[in-house]
Chains A and B, each alone.
Chain A
Amino acid sequence: MDVDRVDAVIVGAGPSGAVTARRLADAGMSVVCLEQGGWPDYSKARAGFPDFELVARKHWDWNPNTRRAPGDYPVDDGDSDITALMYNGVGGSAVMYAAHWERFLPSDFRVRTLDGVADDWPVTYEDLEPYFDEVERQFAVSGLEGDPALPPATAPPLPPVPLNKVGRRGAEALNRLGWHWWPGSNAIATKDYGRLHACAQSTACPFGCPVGAKASPDRTHWPDLVADGVRLVTGARVRELVTTASGLVDGVGYVDHDGVERIQRAQVVILCANAIGTPRILLNSGLANSSGLVGRRLMMHPFGNAIGIFDEDLESWRGPLGQHLHSLQFYETDVARGFVRGAKWNLLPSGAPLSMMLPGLWGTEGSWGEDFHTALRARLGRSAIWTVICEDLPDESNRVVLDPDTVDAAGVPGVRIEYRTSENARAMMDFHLTKLELVLREMGATQTILNGHIRASGWHLMGTAVMGRDPATSVVDPVGRCHDVPNLFVLDGSTFPTSSGVNPTATIAANALRCADALVRDRAAQVVPA
């Protein structure tokens, strides 16, 4: 065998890539991971320093078109209602996520059966349950067992983050309304755990955790994986997959950080590059697309928020960011509302002051003149934010395509996104914001600000290489193997048939582990290049 050939090459060092690498390495397989970005630079994690928010707005910006880091590639979102957000580097988009750790609910896997829309998954909540348990240990999840919005489950490894004044006020209001809430589940350490340290409550989770409390794979997985012999190649920009005459993939062609064209040969290739990056590679390679669905069915979760301002000092500049609590009161379908499926709410502290004062979530104009001081005193420490994540149903016209007009630093084509928010999601958002205004009033808010359909909110990327049993209507099979190319796998959120209405990282990680487990189990029968 070619000495440079490995058992598996994984593209992407985010949650799905890290979980997969762990499972394969534990099975004794030789693994290389190609990651287009580098390691996060935590010297730029400036929480506690006066320039924190200024640095965060560039270095930790969620939009690659703004951040323009070396690992980023162009994403033309001019024809999209939502901008796609991601982090291209070791740890993947978990480096910038808020670490809200939510299992998809049982009904999320059965939307066709229950609600007559979209598609059922070829797997169930129960199939994923043991994998949820395992990834919660890997990602240092803190939370409280017994949430009545989910089936009984194993307790997470760490106790939940504090409610603080903001969370307690929200919980008390929901109790008075008779509505569901539960302490937040977060991939945030509340005690020292493995390589992680207990959270210092800097409201910095999405902007570079300064103490190493937030679980992202650059901290939870990759140091140990590298020590265990997994080869992680940073600055590796994948150009295309290399094929054999018999229709298998033989490896991955990439440009290294010195600009040298290289090929990493492998028995199996596993794409974990997120639902924008994975179809980008498949489309650029002209592979796995006999269904015509590669890049289609993009789902990004229409996102809104409801901000309350209070007379009392809630110390709302403090806390994990990170959810104090969530509510799934109106999650399940009630057709009387005029839409199907539902949304999750979570309650957050409002954090540091600069974001409150600039045009954006707190108003389109900003507050200037004497109003600057009025608004600043009213908001800083005295505000709370409910966010709304609406289930996004798949639509084949929402898609990722290659962009003929842009290339990355290695000359690999960028992408263009075509996406429209559905009428179902618009009706859903209106309903939920109306309910949340009631909650904020019950909490005692003296002012409320409602933001529906925030454009810069596409953190949750799913659906562009859908899984299913029928090769005519899906790209990969139920364990992530491409129907067209039997040694090519997709194990990231691209394979999700539907999006749920909760944060997807827990399910992305659990599903990757389930599929990696199957790959290991079926290894003897795996078709590989001659």
Chain B
Amino acid sequence: MTAIAPDLRAVLAGIADVLIPAAQGMPSATEAGVPEALLDEVVRARPDLAAPLVEVLTAVATDDAATAVARLRAGAVPGFDTVAVVVAGGYLMSPRVMAELGYPGQEAKIVDPDDVIRTLHDGLLDPVIERGPIYRPTPGTGESR
């Protein structure tokens, strides 16, 4: 697995906080841990992202963060898609972020097989049924074989 060196993590931190600053009661990307533990989790889930991330961070390493983001978003330096998926993907893996959003994640809730049956009793489908068939009659059916 490609390691992400501390100096490149610092580059990522600057970019990440431009993309996701602290606002509206939400932590910044860095406060959420994107350049550190969450980056490790991202790369563990998606090892294919590590090498292209290193490449793009190296390409903008001498830019200040705002300039790096501007150049990436303009396509002057390729690889914004990689940075975006790492930063947003890592951020949305944060338990703190999920808690602030009130998002429980994909908690399992087995379907209620009677849900639509109750809908029928409520009469929700009645107007659809009352309007009758809407499919187009087809001539010559049943005579083709």
A155 at the binding interface (Cβ < 8 Å): no
A126 and B142 within 8 A (CB): yes
Could you mark each residue 67-98 of chain B with 1 if its beta carbon is under 8 Å from any beta carbon of chain A, else 0?
00100010000000100110011001101001
Looking at A240-248, A352-360, A410-418, A522-530, the stretch in contact with chain B turns out to be A352-360
CA–CA, A125 and B135, complex, Å: 12
CA–CA, A122 and B111, complex, Å: 40
Determine which residue in B48, B128, B139 has the highest number of CB atoms from chain A within 10 A of its CB, and name it: B128
**Residues A55 and B144 in contact in the complex (CB < 8 Å), given A190-B113, A368-B19:** no
- Which residue of B has the minimal Cβ distance to A144? B116
B20 at the binding interface (Cβ < 8 Å): yes
B109 to chain A, nearest CB (A): 5
Taking CB atoms, residues of chain A closer than 8 Å to B84 are 358-359, 366
What size tier do the contact residues of chain A reach?
35 or more
- What is the total number of residues of chain B having a CB less than 8 Å from a CB of chain A? 60
A425 at the binding interface (Cβ < 8 Å): no
Give which listed residue, B44, B46, B129, contacts A148 with CB less than 8 A: B129
Give which listed residue, A168, A359, A478, contacts B81 with CB less than 8 A: A359
B133 at the binding interface (Cβ < 8 Å): yes
A113 and B109 within 8 A (CB): no
Taking CB atoms, residues of chain B closer than 8 Å to A478 are 145
B62 at the binding interface (Cβ < 8 Å): no
Determine which residue in B23, B129, B134 has the highest number of CB atoms from chain A within 10 A of its CB, and name it: B134
B116 and A369 within 8 A (CB): no
A188 to chain B, nearest CB (A): 8
Q: From residue 98 to 140 of chain B, which have CB atoms closer than 8 A to chain A? A: 98, 101-103, 105-117, 119, 124-125, 127-129, 131-140
**Residues A151 and B135 in contact in the complex (CB < 8 Å), given A57-B85, A368-B20:** yes
A163 and B134 within 8 A (CB): no
B138 and A54 within 8 A (CB): no
Interface SS of chain A: loop
**Residues A158 and B106 in contact in the complex (CB < 8 Å), given A55-B46, A106-B138, A376-B101:** no
**Residues A110 and B139 in contact in the complex (CB < 8 Å), given A178-B127, A190-B111:** yes
CA–CA, A359 and B72, complex, Å: 14
B85 and A162 within 8 A (CB): no
B41 at the binding interface (Cβ < 8 Å): yes
Give which listed residue, B42, B102, B110, B113, contacts A158 with CB less than 8 A: B113
Interface SS of chain B: loop
A47 and B106 within 8 A (CB): yes
Taking CB atoms, residues of chain A closer than 8 Å to B23 are 370, 373
Give which listed residue, A52, A178, A182, A198, contacts B111 with CB less than 8 A: A198
B85 and A181 within 8 A (CB): no
- Which residue of B has the minimal Cβ distance to A192? B110
Could you mark each residue 361-396 of chain A with 1 if its beta carbon is under 8 Å from any beta carbon of chain B, else 0?
000011011101110110011000000000000000
CA–CA, A122 and B144, complex, Å: 6
**Residues A198 and B113 in contact in the complex (CB < 8 Å), given A48-B107, A50-B41, A113-B140:** yes
Taking CB atoms, residues of chain A closer than 8 Å to B88 are 354, 357-358, 366, 372
Determine which residue in B41, B44, B127, B129 has the highest number of CB atoms from chain A within 10 A of its CB, and name it: B127
Give which listed residue, B98, B101, B129, contacts A377 with CB less than 8 A: B101
Give which listed residue, B45, B95, B109, B128, contacts A201 with CB less than 8 A: B109
A106 and B135 within 8 A (CB): yes
Could you pull out 21 A-B pairs where Cβ atoms are within 8 angstroms?
A48-B108, A51-B46, A53-B89, A57-B85, A58-B46, A107-B135, A107-B136, A107-B138, A110-B140, A110-B141, A123-B144, A160-B116, A161-B116, A162-B115, A163-B116, A182-B128, A183-B119, A183-B125, A190-B111, A354-B85, A372-B20
What 4 A-B pairs have minimum CB-CB distances, sorted nearest first? A162-B115, A51-B45, A200-B108, A50-B93
